[in-house]
Structure 1
Amino acid sequence: MKPFFLLLLTSYACFSQVGIGTNTPNSSSLLEISSTDKTFVPPRMTNAQMLAIPNPLIASIVYNTTFNSLYIYNSLGWKSMLETDNPNLICKKSGGSLMVSNNTYYNFPLNSTHIQSQNASTYEIISNGKIRIKENGIYMVGAQLSVNNMPSGTKAYSIAVFKNETLIGLLNKNESIQSSTDYWGTSGMMTFRFAIGDEIEIKYLVNNNQSLSLVFAAFSFVKIN
């Protein structure tokens, strides 16, 4: 009976604390790895494989081979350990023309060729004004638009945010009232909660029956939580 009792005690000790490369793991360690010539290697996988993991536990760690970074899973989703600032996306351009017609929304004429700053693990630009979100969280979204030949009269306008083809917010909505053809511009900003896989579109509406000469167009995303 004594040998069996001792075996139980030994098994309990092994499951309470585990040492790899050491016979004396620290009393505060559940698992302690000690080595001077070998490394600890977490699971290695592509970004797609990482995102496909079903119900990962909080504090799960993998090495993402797509973005060459360790990732840890928290309450907001997978987070790169390389990130030191809030992940952002900034696109802008100057010049060109702006398509407009009455009561019609158009996507901002900005795509991957207009990137000024991008965190590729958080955002993917799909097409003009269309972005796919790669991390759960709260995002601040801003946009700016200006032309140099807004016609005289009263023209309704707005800048809108669509999520998965549904309107979720207006960054700005008003009327342009001009006595002659002249410069016009507008901007706006709002905060939204987005999830992995959400497709976001930044769109504008200007009630006018002819194209306008674009001075400047820009949009930005900043993940704040």
Structure 2
Amino acid sequence: MKQTSLYITACFLLAVAFAKAQTLNPQLLLKLNDGTTAEINNTTGAEAGVMAYDSDQKVAKIYDGTTWQAMSTPSRGSIILNRNGGSGILTTANNTYFDMPINASHIQANEGGLFTVIGTGEIEVAQDGLYAISASLSTSNMPAGNTKYILAARRNGSLIGYLSRGSVSLPNRDYWGTSGTLSYTLNAGDVINFQYVINAGGSNLNAVFSNASITKL
């Protein structure tokens, strides 16, 4: 009986060792066709259920017959756009909204496959949920006097809130900046547009930094 037990134990240990020694054959792994976000979104003739790998967002996607949906999308994710400097890029006019001067070339981080930068100051979200929306803006030559400013966020073209709003009074032309955050419930496909207002009489101001971010909570 003792010898039988030892034999069974030895066979078990050999089986475990053999299993651990096995490795996946890379030639047998499934390879999805890959493409950028734009290339996948512009694909025509796709049938519902086909899959592709988004090389921009680093996530596999499946076509539901209408749109490409990220597979196994994590419950959280974030995107950060940051631009340092920019001579005369901040257009101003009294009580007029302008898009934040940031785009896909200013992506600092994009994690979770939840976000796509689709235009200047515009980010599309891919999943329903609660999001923190943040932005900051700074200039090196804010004019002297009392100047009204606003940092705002629009959802699908409609204003949803001010990230920052007020007025600044400077004795001389000088550095100035502002920042703010708001939380908002968004749906898949919503587009957030970051905008600003600076009542600087139509002069173009220099940017020190322009920053926008969205985080799924």
Q: Answer yes or no: same fold by TM over 0.5.
A: yes
What aligned pairs does 1:128-147 form with structure 2 within 5 A after superposition? 128-147=120-139
Matched pairs, number: 173
The one-letter amino acid paired with 1:89 is I
User: How far off its partner does 1:65 sit?
Assistant: 3.6
What aligned pairs does 1:75-224 form with structure 2 within 5 A after superposition? 80-81=71-72, 83=74, 86-95=76-85, 96-97=87-88, 98-119=90-111, 121-209=113-201, 210-224=203-217
Unaligned segments of structure 2, at least 5 residues: 1-24, 63-68
CA distance in 2: counterparts of 1:65 and 1:172, whole angstroms: 38
Asked if the contact 1:140–1:191 (Cα under 8 Å) also holds between the matched residues in 2, the reply is yes
Q: Structure 1 residue runs of 4+, over 2 Å off?
A: 46-49, 61-72, 78-83
Q: Secondary structure of 2:105's match?
A: helix
Q: Sequence identity, in percent? A: 30
CA distance in 2: counterparts of 1:186 and 1:53, whole angstroms: 47
Structural RMSD (CA):
3.3
Q: Secondary structure of 1:212's match?
A: coil
**Partner of residue 9, structure 2:** none
Provide TM-score, normalisation by structure 1.
Answer: 0.66
User: How far off its partner does 1:63 sit?
Assistant: 6.1
CA distance in 1: counterparts of 2:99 and 2:214, whole angstroms: 16
CA distance in 2: counterparts of 1:110 and 1:70, whole angstroms: 27
Provide TM-score, normalisation by structure 2.
Answer: 0.68
CA 1:162–1:149 in 2, change beyond 3 Å: closer, same or farther? same
CA 1:110–1:70 in 2, change beyond 3 Å: closer, same or farther? closer
Q: Secondary structure of 2:207's match?
A: strand
